[in-house]
Chains A and B, each alone.
Chain A
């Protein structure tokens, strides 16, 4: 039977196959909207990982989910006698997704925003039990940016447009600032002024109590990365292929041109600004009276460096879309070489989330500093490498 006759005989089956092909061909390639949001909480530096359908709390010592304990400190067991782990999956029957790293509302409550097709909410989750408290607060959009709070308010940037402030006591809306496009990065609050960027090209400075705009500045391109503050200046990059130095009254005092779009936030250590671009370049810029001047630039990665570089005493560590994690010498950006070759580690997925550094302390029982890196591959969601030699310590995946 040839294919024409087959479809003539089973027309509805033919249509179903055609429809499946169309959906497969036309559906956006990625099902995820964003990459994992990661953050540490508490003195024990437990790692909160928010990605896809769940939020999970990971023990930095061994990369395993934190076990839930009762008031006596004993591990809680489920019906089968297995240890219950700290994991939050949203409402039953809902297709919630999570990208924004949750924050502590108070000592025992986490705020967890969702990313769903409709009816997005910010849930209050009890930290000791990993259970939702109440039904959550409806928010008028999706949340991909990390949420920030001050003493009274919780600030939520929406991925479509607008910044909304909620009263942290009862989560009622206090004000909304209208933007022309989405807010994809966390706001920065310094000295009673909140600064945030938007894809509408502007950097906003607002009064966090009232939502009143103090000034806004055109960054000449979409700005999906958060600004940072250093020596009374703001530093931020944009898709205009530039990094800007901005005075606190909203004037550009210096700018540096990069090769490609700048997405991630810069980081400044000892008067040197480090930032990556979407072409895989990494720049070290002097920050001083002469404005932003190049110290060195290198191209360690084949693809975009989206995340903020991790800077330590000796190294700069960057993750890239090429799945690789690079150790570079802080002095000149050259690759760190070990006996066995360049210190580059390859993960199973793109590295897009910011990196974390966890150091030994009285509360954290680890023998040396760990670099925590997240990828979008389900079997490589979180990995810990030793800072000193890049040795893989543990992997968390699903």
Chain B
């Protein structure tokens, strides 16, 4: 069973943390989420690096698309040459993401199993412990601040509704920070990529907020912790203050005329000039002149 390979160690770890953290299940979930996210940090870092590199190449890719819009084969060849020239793997971000996905889902499922709200869930928990001596902790104490962690916020006291709101806010903040803004088209109108980015940053928080209304409160805590860790991770992995970058991004977007936004954003981003400098100047100039 593939999932058991992920779930059983996670359930064991979560229950072990519960035992050493004063049988506080919320603390166990928070520490558990932090530990797993730290463990997959190299993957996250690689994914973010890959995303950044791809982002830096976007102006060049756009130019190539414009230049070879009627010759798909040539476009593909040029794109591959560009990737090769800059040592970028266009799928470099996919593998870490693919590896992370089952881990994050396993983390999520481990919380559901460990809380064991129903007889079936407790039954499924019965064979998951990999180290002896955890039996006496089952089932974990699922009450926290008057809330039953196995139930959705709507079946808990009113203040539990603050959790979906926090999920929404932290998801929005995280996606706003980590999803790179796509440049608009030359004519200043939003392009498809930009539309998708806007959709992601708007719909994803709403989606997760909505999920949190129907999922258990324990999972909301996981979502919030994961989002906060994601924000911190992103801040630490970037060379400027996350908050400042976030504020500058909004300010730049407001101040710049629509037709000049792309230019302004490129100039305001510390990374982009460095990349352009790192590229062989002659080739870049050639390509730009050809495009014009």
**Which A residues form the contact surface with B (CB < 8 A)?**
7-9, 11-12, 14-15, 19, 22-23, 25-26, 28-30, 32-35, 117-118, 144, 159-160, 180-182, 184, 199, 201, 220-222, 224, 239-241, 260-261, 263, 278, 304, 306, 321, 352
Indicate with 1 or 0, residue by residue over B133-149, a CB within 8 angstroms of chain A CB atoms.
Answer: 00110110100000010
CA distance A263 to B120 in the complex (A): 12
- Residues in B with CB closer than 8 Å to A8 are 192-193, 195-196
- Residues in B with CB closer than 8 Å to A304 are 123, 126-127
* Contacting pair B127 A278 (CB below 8 A): yes
**Which B residues form the contact surface with A (CB < 8 A)?**
105, 108-109, 112, 117-124, 126-127, 135-136, 138-139, 141, 148, 151-152, 154-155, 192-193, 195-196, 199-200, 203-204, 207, 211, 215, 219
* Contacting pair A15 B199 (CB below 8 A): yes
Given contacts A8-B192, A9-B192, A33-B118, contact A221 B123 (CB under 8 A): no
Given contacts A9-B192, A278-B126, contact A180 B108 (CB under 8 A): no
Contact of B139 among A9, A181, A241 (CB under 8 A): A181
Tell me the smallest distance from the CB of B223 to a CB of chain A, in Å: 10
Chain A residue with minimal CB distance to B126? A278
Chain B residue with minimal CB distance to A261? B126
CA distance A144 to B119 in the complex (A): 8
13 more A-B residue pairs beyond the given contacts A32-B120, A33-B118, with a C-beta to C-beta distance below 8 A: A7-B196, A11-B192, A11-B199, A15-B199, A26-B219, A30-B121, A33-B120, A34-B120, A35-B120, A160-B151, A180-B141, A221-B135, A304-B123
Main secondary structure of the interface of A (DSSP, over half): loop
- Residues in A with CB closer than 8 Å to B215 are 26
- Residues in B with CB closer than 8 Å to A29 are 124
Chain B residue with minimal CB distance to A11? B196
Given contacts A180-B141, A239-B138, contact A15 B119 (CB under 8 A): no
* Contacting pair B135 A261 (CB below 8 A): yes
- Residues in B with CB closer than 8 Å to A118 are 154-155
Contact of B200 among A11, A144, A222 (CB under 8 A): A11
* Contacting pair B135 A240 (CB below 8 A): yes
- Residues in A with CB closer than 8 Å to B200 are 11, 15
Contact of A12 among B117, B135, B154, B199 (CB under 8 A): B199
- Residues in A with CB closer than 8 Å to B148 are 160
Q: List 23 A-B contacts (CB under 8 A).
A: A8-B196, A15-B203, A26-B108, A26-B109, A26-B211, A26-B215, A28-B112, A28-B121, A30-B118, A34-B118, A118-B155, A159-B118, A159-B119, A181-B139, A182-B139, A201-B136, A221-B138, A240-B135, A260-B126, A261-B126, A263-B123, A278-B126, A352-B123
Contact of A25 among B105, B139, B154 (CB under 8 A): B105
Tell me the smallest distance from the CB of A225 to a CB of chain B, in Å: 11
CA distance A160 to B109 in the complex (A): 20
* Contacting pair A26 B105 (CB below 8 A): yes
- Residues in A with CB closer than 8 Å to B109 are 26, 28
Given contacts A33-B119, A33-B120, A278-B126, contact A23 B211 (CB under 8 A): yes
- Residues in A with CB closer than 8 Å to B192 are 8-9, 11
- Residues in A with CB closer than 8 Å to B211 are 22-23, 26
- Residues in A with CB closer than 8 Å to B126 are 260-261, 278, 304
* Contacting pair B204 A224 (CB below 8 A): no
Tell me the smallest distance from the CB of A262 to a CB of chain B, in Å: 11
CA distance A220 to B138 in the complex (A): 10
CA distance A12 to B204 in the complex (A): 10
- Residues in A with CB closer than 8 Å to B105 are 25-26
* Contacting pair A220 B136 (CB below 8 A): yes
Tell me the smallest distance from the CB of A38 to a CB of chain B, in Å: 15
